[in-house]
Structure 1
């Protein structure tokens, strides 16, 4: 007789791990528990939604499964998840961070955590010769992104994690740009995998959320405490929407990756495009590492025009199917000008130092037809003045 001893595949888990709490109704999708309070002594142990809700539990169970982790805690946004991790630090602690970070992470570190005596040092973690600083400084946390925002640098998560483990330093990886379908940091040795579920995991640009996944019970206790004590929990409907979106993650990521790769190849040949960065392009500086570490190149393409800020923004506004907007990872294509949008909080000299110039653009490739997106970009590039 055939058994089900083998672990089900990614999409099977995505569909089924987020279901439950349907009671006697037979509903194949879970209800939304729009309640702040639960009767004391209920069998599932709920009391107040700030400290737990059935929709949170379903999302956390499925998120942990897809990341290859034991524990997950969901939050109100990606920044809430970042705040939860940083809230575990104390005065005098040092964070050793990849130099190319999401602008809001940089802002939190420099304008909030610094006020409480927490210092941050930024290093190009894509260069292996810099990893020795982990043992020398023994920071409280190593903070990575891979791919990074917006330059799409690839950091060797397994390599950094091995060095950090020897120094007994926890490693946090912001996995937002890859999603657990393409990359699972915990399986590569990281301590925590953090994502803004607003992006690929939800995938429909209709709710905010964040999640932190770990295999360590001690870190899970810290995340649960932060969720409750700091009020970082999502709303039940946002958690429900995120679980709903997560069920189609594999299908969406396959399409995002395929279209993004074709657009990146085409952009690289265009005379008006100065530079293209995409992890699965052979021209990417960490191409071989990306192929080893990731299942696909994701849906993000970064390219640079030889232009001023005004010309770059004019190019973006010329687009028809690609919207100039913050965020990424939705079914619709979006384009962002990091210098004036996502990384505006980063000082101009720091932006230039890491490679974020006036003509740099970050394209989140959606699920539209490839030919329509290519024609849209061609039209806007044709109108670009030298």
Structure 2
């Protein structure tokens, strides 16, 4: 049984807080020789003492092989589901494996999916070039105004998919308003909440049906593993497990990776508090800098979506975007001058990371001329993932770099 546990209102048992559950939920050390940290189970298959035992395991959902069943991974899934407020979770090998498992597992030929016009670039590739090959219609919509959803919804709409905050713009979308409109046709709402993590935002509380995270980012937080997770009701997650993971993608999470993610998860609320505090300070200073044309950060007063962010997030997270008055060339000069921050395409690490999407696109176009810019991502946009270094050091590095803008 989980130790400690969180119980329903009205129970005589205590309800533990988020930080306590992030450390303990779903694991009882007394079942594993008193080991404080959950053991990592390295096995590809499971043996049985009799055919009867094997039949029983198979009847319970195929707990025969490690692609579908691993004790370490299941502890992580139970803990993540609890923190997100979901009935169940399914962990997979990467964030893109989560997106692929979701869409291939729930959509069929003739179905429709509505997506926000701005998404993570590889999710754009999946929805623009990938799933349409299977007869699935993808409809991009500007969901910054939820009313735009009404004209796109049809009886064939199965999923409405978006990120909030949006990668890489840090745009905020109204989960409750979008969910209320999607309910008119019974479409499931899927929110990629990677930029926030469950420490700051829990979309299911605002009407969403499924939550996706790249575990590579804040939930692990240390830039040393890849992983993804889908969270939602028990029936949907069971279907994605038995179909999406079992034979559509086979994208199993390594048990070692699961153990490392649980280690990172234990400090998630502390890290998100620090990321959020430092990022707000950096955003405020950027907004006052003479070289900066605009700044977008969820908790920056006056930033688009500020009021919605305050309603559905308990902190602004560590992600912000900004543009320079000198545009593309200025952005490249700034990135070249940075000394503490690392130029890198990931985010959510303890290290500060920065990227210029337009430069990545132009580099890719030299070998893939068909590569297209993501909607809403201009030549000037810089994505800045504020790490856990001293706040003053992060700003000093950025300020000296901006002198070359």
Structure 2 residue runs of 5 or longer lacking an equivalent are 1-10
Contact 1:73 1:224 in 2 (8 A): no
Residue aligning to 1:33: 41
1:73 aligns with 2:90: yes
1:191, 1:216 within 8 Å by CA — same for their partners in 2? no
State the match for 1:217 in structure 2. 235
Do 1:209 and 1:238's aligned partners in 2 also have CA atoms closer than 8 Å?
A: yes
- 1:5 and 2:24 matched: no
SS of equivalent to 1:182: coil
- 2:280 and 2:316 in contact (8 A); partners too: yes
Among residues 323, 328, 342, which one is paired with 1:304 in the alignment? Answer: 323
Number of the residue aligned with 2:164: 146
Matched, 1:197 2:215: yes
Residues of 2 paired with 1:271 and 1:349: CA distance?
Answer: 31
- Displacement after TM superposition at 1:216 (Å): 4.3
For 1:174, which of 185, 192, 205 is the aligned residue? 192
Q: Which moved more, 1:95-104 or 1:32-41?
A: 32-41
Return the match for 1:287 from 295, 300, 306.
306
Which shows bigger deviation, 356-365 or 248-257?
356-365
SS at match of 1:131: helix
Is the counterpart of residue 17 in structure 1 residue 25 in structure 2? yes
Measured in 2, the distance between the counterparts of 1:301 and 1:360 equals 10
Q: Secondary structure at the match of 2:78?
A: helix
Tell me, yes or no, if the aligned pair for 1:98 and 1:144 is still in contact at 8 Å. Answer: yes
Distance 1:19 1:347, change over 3 A: farther
Alpha carbons 1:51, 1:227 under 8 Å: kept: yes
| Match of residue 64, structure 1, among 76, 81, 94 | 81
**Is the CA contact 2:164–2:193 (under 8 Å) kept in the aligned structure 1?**
yes
**Alignment partners' CA distance in 1, 2:113 and 2:138:** 5
Q: From 104, 108, 114, give the equivalent of 1:87.
A: 104
Partners of 2:30 and 2:125 lie apart in 1 by 42
Q: Distance in 2 between matches of 1:328 and 1:350?
A: 20
CA contact (8 A) 1:126 1:154 kept: yes
Q: Which segment is superposed worse, 108-117 or 56-65?
A: 108-117
For residue 347 of structure 2, what is the aligned residue in structure 1? 328
Deviation at 1:221, TM superposition (A): 1.9
Give me the CA root mean square deviation. 2.2
TM-score by length of 1: 0.93
Residue-pair matches, total? 380
Asked whether 1:123 is paired with 2:141, we answer yes
Other structure's SS at 1:207 match: coil
User: TM-score w.r.t. structure 2 length?
Assistant: 0.88
Q: Which residue matches 1:258? A: 277
Structure 1: stretches of 5+ with no match in the other structure: none
